[in-house]
Amino acid sequence: MSTSSPIDRQARRAPHVAIIMDGNGRWAARRGLPRTEGHTEGEENLARVVRAAVTRDIGWLTVFGFSTENWVRPRAEVRHILGLHEKLFSRIAELNENNVRIRWIGRPFDSPEARTPKYVQRAIRRALHETESNTGMVLTVAFDYGGRAELMAAVRGTRRAGSAITAAAIDQHLYLPDLPPVDLMIRTSGEHRVSNFLLWQSAGAKIHFTDTPWPDFDATELDAALALLA
């Protein structure tokens, strides 16, 4: 879903960092806690990482919040994660204090496949509107998102437009056509895969894998990853 207000040009020149925030459940299990506690701590850590990111040379930060495949998780766990995302998109005062513009990427709300609940949709729309004038880092949250679903939607959109299937045409029919290519992708918690995240946008990205679970990923870890761009 794209919005009409312009993206800050300075942010466009700065790196685009994408993060697969993995390991909440393992973090909780190691402490004898329910998985939901790991997700809660993961949401709090995202706020901490965003605050750290705005002090570094990052123009775009895109995080994998909830994938199209995550709906098969236990219902209670999904409900908890949905509530956390409603809370995340409601951190408007903090985002404005840090001059962060928030965006969302995922299956469009009006598409037949979309599964984002109405109350999360409302929180997303409000956050987009109330941070759209901010000119600092752009935080994009991927929710109900899958790279394959995005590419299939882009191909369908290209065909409906009567255009040839070219790389440029696909670019124009992605969920967020103005999202720049990913410069650095980070995956936490020891997994060495990209899990259907920003497949098109990450074609030339450098990748940083760390064994640290997401709730423990901090500014020092972020700097270690950013060193790949030096």
Task: Quick: pLDDT tens for 129-161.
Answer: 999 999 999 999 999 999 999 999 999 999 999
Does the pLDDT value for residue 56 go beyond 80? yes
Does the pLDDT value for residue 184 go beyond 80? yes
Q: Supply the pLDDT for residue 13.
A: 67
Q: What share of the chain is helix, strand, coil (3-state, %, to 5)?
A: 45, 15, 40
Please, which residues have CB within 8 angstroms of residue 108's CB and are 6 or more apart in sequence? 1, 114, 153, 175
Q: Supply the pLDDT for residue 76.
A: 94
| Catalytic residue chosen out of the listed positions 24, 45, 70, 144 | 70
The whole-angstrom separation of Cα 61 and Cα 75 is 29
The whole-angstrom separation of Cα 209 and Cα 203 is 16
Which token pair is 209?
A: 């894998």
Q: Where residue 3 falls among pLDDT bands split at 50, 70, 90?
A: very low
CB 229 within 8 A of CB 206: yes
The whole-angstrom separation of Cα 79 and Cα 74 is 9
| Catalytic residue chosen out of the listed positions 22, 24, 134, 183 | 22
The whole-angstrom separation of Cα 165 and Cα 146 is 20
8 is known as an active-site residue: no
Q: What is the pLDDT of residues 74-130, one digit of tens each?
A: 999 999 999 999 999 999 999 999 999 999 999 999 999 999 999 999 999 999 999
Q: Supply the pLDDT for residue 4.
A: 37
Q: Supply the pLDDT for residue 137.
A: 97
196 is known as an active-site residue: no
CB 2 within 8 A of CB 188: no
Q: What is the pLDDT of residues 7-28, one digit of tens each?
A: 443 444 699 999 999 999 999 9
SS3 19: strand
The whole-angstrom separation of Cα 112 and Cα 28 is 35
Average pLDDT over residues 220-226: 98
Largest interatomic CA distance in the chain: 56
Does the pLDDT value for residue 5 go beyond 70? no
Q: What is the pLDDT of residues 201-213, one digit of tens each?
A: 999 999 999 999 9
Predicted model pTM: 0.92
Q: Supply the pLDDT for residue 57.
A: 85
